[in-house]
Structure 1
């Protein structure tokens, strides 16, 4: 393989022009090492993140994987601790025998592959994926593993509160389990590419469903005693009147998930 810089490789493949390359290098120099060449190319709009990743994978002779269309193996994900996955921006996606396939945007980083090998006791096969796709997969798979712990906290909360009490104190609404529940609902909805969240009270439980590709999909069920505290929490952060329960209201709040700021609109 010829030792050619990625910028020259992109020009050779006619993915960018020589002028664009020179401009990108100038911008990178101005950043004083804070930005990688690929980041600059994408920010300038010369290539999409996917196109750049595919080109770099081709240059490095490493398979490129579109994680949005890949059936990620949950067992493989669980082999790598969340802290390690987030530290290196990696996610294990498949197991074949004693080999673990790991998606990364830095496949030639020996330290990453060695740490994964030491942690899992398995040999690793790197594949290339975009950083955005990896972060989204990390959020989706590890957050779903954390849902059980959130629900355990919510159950403990419900055991300590009276289901017949409609008055929500500030302490109850801002308790850690309720805050975590509200945050987790939005996080998991975003990572599932949902467009809507529906919080539906029933006699013995509250059902939370999300709309994905036009269909309502169940996200989780929680004890009905949690309903008032959860909806009051959402009203509070949305700037709505928590004392008003008869008149429909609209509000909104923002939440950052995986580096993306979401604008969440709320209707009651």
Structure 2
């Protein structure tokens, strides 16, 4: 972990004073690792951390497009509660080894526990926390991502109002589901080290893109029917 931290400091992604602060807090709480605490404190982007680990470890980076739509057969080897609690996900398994998505290689406990419970060698694959959460939700939850689950709770209620009605939009933008939805878009932008968020409403769809390292990257977006509510919420932040 110290090698990763030094790489991040050298790259200008992390400050030594922030590391010292995290070390002091960790000494008091004894919970977690320095790098994961830096992410939780908002002092380090999770994507920067994962990218740094990928350069240090012989571990590949998870490609979300390669994930199967349903859990592969024979991977129900660990309780879902364990996977959610430790932010890991079993991606595949055979008789000898098991591929596991992880967010914090500095914490040896999850991988050791998985190896002991499954009696297989563990092959770690690096992933962002929200990538693991979305995958577990699609596989074992409602079949939707975290954003999709929020949209599902909203139903189609906002279609009953006039998108041009200012009072209706103000009320809609202040409701908990819309707040969670916008917060999630912002949270994911921060995790991906985005410099800005582009939200473009079209007649039949809504496009959301993050600018990361100078490039605009499309990400999961709410449906077009929520465009007015999302934009109104952003305007009153």
Question: Given the two structures, how large is their TM-score scaled by the length of structure 2?
Answer: 0.54
**Bigger relative contact order (CA 8 A; separation at least 6):** 2
After superposition, residues 7-18 of structure 1 pair within 5 angstroms as: none
1:157 and 1:177 in contact (8 A); partners too: no
- CA–CA distance in 1 between the matches of 2:187 and 2:134? 8
Match of 1:31 among 18, 27, 30: 27
In structure 1, runs of 5+ residues without a counterpart are: 1-6, 8-26, 55-63, 118-122, 238-268
Partner-residue secondary structure (3-state), 1:228 = helix
- CA–CA distance in 1 between the matches of 2:53 and 2:219? 31
Q: What residue in structure 2 maps to residue 247 of structure 1?
A: none
After superposition, residues 65-80 of structure 1 pair within 5 angstroms as: 65-67=59-61, 73-74=67-68, 75=70
Cα deviation digits, residues 119-170 of structure 1 (max 9, x gap): xxxx65423567xx56364256457722322222344232343334233465
Mapped pair 1:236 → 2:236: yes
Q: What residue in structure 2 maps to residue 223 of structure 1?
A: 224
Structure 1 residues 188 and 115: alpha-carbon distance in aligned structure 2, compared to 1, 3 A threshold: farther
- CA–CA distance in 2 between the matches of 1:136 and 1:151? 17
Q: What residue in structure 2 maps to residue 102 of structure 1?
A: 100
1:210 and 1:218 in contact (8 A); partners too: yes
Match of 1:127 among 96, 101, 123: 123
Question: How many pairs does the alignment contain?
Answer: 190
Q: CA deviation at 1:179?
A: 1.2
- CA–CA distance in 2 between the matches of 1:86 and 1:66? 21
Structure 1 residues 34 and 228: alpha-carbon distance in aligned structure 2, compared to 1, 3 A threshold: same
Mapped pair 1:206 → 2:206: yes
1:209 and 1:217 in contact (8 A); partners too: yes
1:85 and 1:138 in contact (8 A); partners too: no
Structure 1 residues 126 and 137: alpha-carbon distance in aligned structure 2, compared to 1, 3 A threshold: farther
Cα deviation digits, residues 17-64 of structure 1 (max 9, x gap): xxxxxxxxxx89x9378267x749xx9xxxx9739974xxxxxxxxx4
Higher alpha-carbon Rg: 1
Structure 1 residues 125 and 172: alpha-carbon distance in aligned structure 2, compared to 1, 3 A threshold: same
2:96 and 2:121 in contact (8 A); partners too: no
2:154 and 2:177 in contact (8 A); partners too: yes
1:158 and 1:223 in contact (8 A); partners too: no
1:195 and 1:211 in contact (8 A); partners too: yes
Partner-residue secondary structure (3-state), 2:220 = strand
Mapped pair 1:148 → 2:148: yes
Q: CA deviation at 1:92?
A: 2.3
Question: Given the two structures, how large is their TM-score scaled by the length of structure 1?
Answer: 0.49
In structure 2, runs of 5+ residues without a counterpart are: 3-22, 39-48, 138-143
- CA–CA distance in 1 between the matches of 2:203 and 2:29? 58
1:72 and 1:94 in contact (8 A); partners too: no
